[in-house]
């Protein structure tokens, strides 16, 4: 499956997608999250991290730009890094913070506002686009690599219609 769309009626719908995504993750995935302020990028990431076993808060890394989490994926300890690059000012900030090292074969990177670091980021395996639609959200997931395709193929998500 290369492409998947759904309507998420409410925050519970976003959370349900997060649970499905958590089950479909694999090490090294790079996921870009697109959408306006308040579209639900952090809400989706939070649900995914909690479903993946993270206990505790998931806040947007507004000023630190990145927050690492440890989860266990099929018995293997795996790092997930949640980026929010909205407030990134310069490419140097990203480079000097050592963020490039997070993009490796083992770490899962989830990036809000990838547009802010376009020249620095590797291409994503999956693009997720969230958009306000009525009282809910429309979501589109696009696979852009073999690994992304495999992830979406594992995605078992049936939103309440
Ligand atoms: N499917 C949905 N329907 C309606 N409201 C939703 C849905 N999913 C999430 N929300 C709400 O939308 C808001 C999303 O906020 P969130 O912080 O996740 O946005 P964001 O895309 O990360 O924004 P920012 O770019 O500022 O980081 C929350 O108030 C959440 O409750
Ligand atoms: Mg956010």
The terminus-to-terminus CA distance of the chain in angstroms comes to 20
- Nearest to 40, CA basis, from 13, 66, 69: 13
Angle at 32 between CA 50 and CA 28, to 5 degrees: 70
Can you tell me the distance from the alpha carbon of 127 to that of 69, in angstroms, rounded to the nearest whole number? 21
pLDDT of the residue at 1: 62
Contact 134 CB / ligand 1 (< 6 Å): no
> Of ligand 1's atoms, which has the minimum distance to the CA of residue 84?
27
Contact 131, 137 (CB under 8 A): yes
Contacts with 76 (C-beta within 8 Å, 6 or more apart), sequence order: 27
Contact 151, 25 (CB under 8 A): yes
pLDDT of the residue at 2: 86
Q: Whose CA is nearest to atom 26 of ligand 1?
A: 37
- Indicate if the alpha-carbon torsion angle 30, 143, 42, 155 is positive or negative: negative
Distance 158 CA to ligand 2 centre (A): 24
Task: Please give the biggest Cα pair distance in the chain.
Answer: 46
Q: What is the pTM of this model?
A: 0.97
Query: Tens place of pLDDT for every residue, the chain, 161 residues?
Result: 688 999 999 999 999 999 999 999 999 999 999 999 999 999 999 999 999 999 999 999 999 999 999 999 989 999 999 999 999 999 999 999 999 999 999 999 999 999 999 999 999 999 999 999 999 999 999 999 999 999 999 998 877 65
* Ligand that comes closest to the CA of residue 40: 1
Contact 14 CB / ligand 1 (< 6 Å): yes
Distance 46 CA to ligand 1 centre (A): 11
Domain ranges of the chain: 3-154
Q: Where are the alpha helices (DSSP H) in 52-142?
A: 91-96
Helix (H) or strand (E) holding 72: strand 66-73
Task: State which CATH number among 1.10.3210.10, 3.40.50.300, 2.60.120.430, 3.30.499.10 fits the domain covering 3-154.
Answer: 3.40.50.300
Contact 41 CB / ligand 1 (< 6 Å): yes
The residue whose two tokens read 């900030």 is 93
Phi, psi (rounded to 5 degrees) for 26: -140, 155
Q: CB within 5 A of ion ligand 2: which residues?
A: 41-42, 60, 112
Q: What is the pLDDT of residues 28-74, one digit of tens each?
A: 999 999 999 999 999 999 999 999 999 999 999 999 999 999 999 98
Distances (CA, A) of 21 to 86, 139, 147: 23, 13, 14
């Amino acid at each position: 499956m290369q492409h998947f769309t759904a309507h998420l009626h409410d925050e519970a719908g976003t959370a349900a997608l997060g649970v499905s995504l958590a089950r479909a993750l694999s090490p090294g995935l790079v996921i870009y999250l697109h959408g306006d302020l308040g579209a639900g990028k952090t809400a989706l990431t939070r649900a995914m991290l909690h479903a993946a076993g993270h206990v505790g808060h998931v806040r947007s890394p507004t000023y630190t730009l990145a927050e690492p989490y440890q989860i266990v994926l099929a018995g293997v300890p795996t790092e997930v890094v949640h980026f929010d690059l909205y407030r990134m000012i310069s490419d140097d900030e990203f480079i000097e913070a050592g963020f490039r090292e997070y993009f490796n074969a083992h770490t899962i990177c989830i990036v809000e506002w990838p547009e802010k670091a376009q020249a620095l980021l590797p291409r994503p395996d999956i693009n997720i686009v969230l958009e306000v639609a009525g009282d809910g959200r429309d979501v589109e997931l696009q696979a852009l690599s073999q690994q992304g395709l495999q992830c979406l193929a594992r995605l078992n998500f049936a939103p309440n219609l």
